[in-house]
Amino acid sequence: MSTTLIALLAIASLVWAWMDVLRAREFAIAHGHRLCAEAGLQLLDQSVAVRRVRLVWRDGLPSLLRRYAFEVSVDGSDRRPGHLELVGHHLAGWSLPLPATTAEAAPRPLPHLYVVK
């Protein structure tokens, strides 16, 4: 009886941990969308992945700090790295690439082409 109960508790704990990981990733994607929208960037959803998990102390209580790395695009044809950190399910920090300045974004003039007939 007690081994069955322990096995059920272990399985329930694993299911809870897995659901918490999935929920944290959903929060990371939602925060990433919001941050990218404010910065004028496009979040590439399929690139969101956890890179680091560590234990931190917040208000005297242990919490998990998860760092999610992802890629963003300025104009749809490039990929730049970014990351955000969640403590529990709350945004603790982030880093996004700076969008290109107008000088960098301006198209470069093409060299003159001479057509010989």
Q: Give 3-39 pLDDT, tens digit per residue.
A: 999 999 999 999 999 999 999 999 999 999 999 999 8
In sequence order, the 6+-apart residues with CB closer than 8 A to the CB of 79 are 44, 47, 71, 72, 73
Mean pLDDT, the chain, as a whole number?
Answer: 84
Residue 116's alpha-carbon distances to 52, 109, 110, 112, 113, in angstroms, are 60, 21, 18, 13, 10
Average pLDDT estimate for 78-102: 85
| pLDDT digits 0-9 by tens, 35-57 | 999 988 999 878 899 999 999 99
| pLDDT, position 47 | 82
Burial of 87 per CB tally in 10 Å (0-12, 13-18, 19+) = middle
| pLDDT, position 101 | 54
pLDDT-derived band at 71 (thresholds 50, 70, 90) equals: very high
